[in-house]
Amino acid sequence: MTDIERLRDSAHAFRALHVPGRPLVLANAWDAVTARIVEDAGAAAVATTSAGLAWARGVADGDRLEREDALAAVARITAVVRVPVSADIESGYASDATGLGDTVRAVLAAGAVGVNIEDALYEEGAGPLRPVAEQAERVAAVRAAADAAGVPLFVNARIDTYLRGAGGLEETLERAAAFLAAGADGVFVPGTVDLATVKALVEGIEGPLNILVGPGAPSVGELAGLGVARISAGSSIAAAAHALVRRAARELLGTGTCESLTGGFDYAGLNALMGRAG
């Protein structure tokens, strides 16, 4: 089987996991070891978190990571897992259609078969979100590049209306319709877990809905019952892991003890897990 055939098979498998009411659950990873742990826990797929990946590469989240760094990390992840991998590519690491095409080809070369692409803007003085028409053109460019490569890349259009306080249900549904028409396969709406809002989003979006969860969010079962097709932890697992680092470091440097590390992954077990990777 050729590389392109393997990518196609993986892409089809990933696409089939998006079932309203029986959602794909993603415990987002940010490097090879976290991806391997997630896979070993029984995950049907692995998705990256742009925040976790950026932090691990020594930069802040928010379109500050270089494409080469981001996709080198994705390649290390695809090398150690057997399940499909989706890459969070933030705004696409590009300013125009040509650059977005380059990003898509790099994503496929790294072995990923899905992407998240967001409509947020981070430039100084810019509005919180790209105009709908502009973002739809960017989604279309991603779709066109994937189609030209012959891989049914799953394009998950992230809409940051709720996350950035830039709109409510009406604005979100307008954006979702435009992005799906431009070639997106699914819609990701982080920033709300209100059950009435999620229900309205499911009913108003003509495609698989992805919801972001974390501490205090409804359970997978509750969201599944509303028809959600994909549930992501986003950066919350990375943030929790780094909080442990801070607690353990402060304890060791303060009291000189290591009680914060109780219950950690044992060395032999983790080493054996990575020895079986790939």
**Tens of pLDDT along 168-185?**
999 999 999 999 999 999
At residue 124, does pLDDT exceed 80? Answer: no
Q: What is the pLDDT averaged over residues 77-95?
A: 98
Compute the mean pLDDT over every residue in the chain, rounded to the nearest whole number: 97
Whether 275 is covered by a domain: the verdict is no
Q: What pLDDT sits at residue 278? A: 78
Interstrand relation of 186-188 and 154-158 (parallel, antiparallel or unpaired)? parallel
d(CA 135, CA 157): 9
> What number of other Cβ atoms are within 10 A of residue 136's Cβ?
22
The stretch 79-105 carries a mean pLDDT of: 98
Distance separating alpha carbons of residues 103 and 142, to the nearest angstrom: 8
Mean pLDDT of 24-47: 98
- Does some domain include residue 245? no
Rounded to an integer, what distance in angstroms lies between the CA atom of residue 206 and that of residue 139? Answer: 16
Q: What is the Cα 220 distance to its own chain's centre?
A: 17
**204 phi, psi to nearest 5 deg:** -100, -10
Instruction: For residue 175, tell me if it sits in a domain.
Output: yes
Does residue 259 sit within a domain? Answer: no
The vertex-95 CA angle with 165 and 141, nearest 5°, equals: 90
Q: What is the mean pLDDT of residues 89-111?
A: 97
The pTM of this model reads: 0.96
Percent of the chain with pLDDT over 70: 100
What's the number of domains the chain is made of?
Answer: 1
Q: Which residues contact 173 (CB under 8 A, 6 or more apart)?
A: 201, 204, 205
Residue type for position 153: L
Whether residue 266 lies inside any domain: the answer is: no
- Decide if 129 is inside a domain: yes
Number of Cβ within 10 Å of residue 274's Cβ equals 14
Residue 104 pLDDT more than 90?
yes
Is residue 278 in a domain?
A: no
Do the beta carbons of residue 48 and residue 247 sit within 8 Å? Answer: no
- Asked if residue 191 is part of any domain, the answer here is yes
CA distance 68 to 144: 21
Domain encompassing residue 78: 3-237
CATH number for the domain spanning 230: value is 3.20.20.60
Interatomic CA distance for residues 77 and 162, integer angstroms: 30
